Amino acid sequence: MNSKMIPIETPSGTFKVWTSEQSSHPSRRLLLLHGGPGANHGYFRSFEEHISTEELSWIYYDQLGSDRSDAPDDLSLWSIERFVEEVEQVRKALGLHRDNFFLLGHSWGGILAVEYALKYQQHLKGLIISNMMASCIKYQEYADQVLGPNMDQKVLARIRELESMGMYESPEYMELLMPHHYEKHVLRKPADQWPKAVTDAFSRTNQQIYVHMQGPSEFGISGTLEKWDRFSDLNQISVPALVIGSEHDTMDPEHMRLMAGTLPKGSYLHCPEGSHLPMWDDSEVYHRGIVQFIAEADCCP
Can 107 be counted among the known catalytic residues? Answer: yes
Q: Kindly name the residue from 70, 249, 282, 298 that is annotated as catalytic.
A: 249
Q: Kindly name the residue from 276, 282, 283, 287 that is annotated as catalytic.
A: 276
Q: Kindly name the residue from 46, 69, 107, 283 that is annotated as catalytic.
A: 107
Q: What's the CA gap between 186 and 145, in Å, rounded?
A: 18
List phi, psi (to 5°) of 108.
-55, -35
Task: Evaluate whether 39 touches 202 at the Cβ level (below 8 Å).
Answer: yes
Listed residue (212, 197, 217) closest to 156, CA to CA: 217
Task: Evaluate whether 271 touches 156 at the Cβ level (below 8 Å).
Answer: no
Q: What's the CA gap between 69 and 63, in Å, rounded?
A: 7
Give the strand order in the sheet containing 2-10: 2-10, 13-21, 57-62, 29-33, 101-106, 126-130, 241-246, 266-271
Can 144 be counted among the known catalytic residues? Answer: no
Q: What's the CA gap between 28 and 250, in Å, rounded?
A: 30
The DSSP code sequence of 142-162 is HIIIIITTTS-HHHHHHHHHH
Residues classed as catalytic? 107, 249, 276
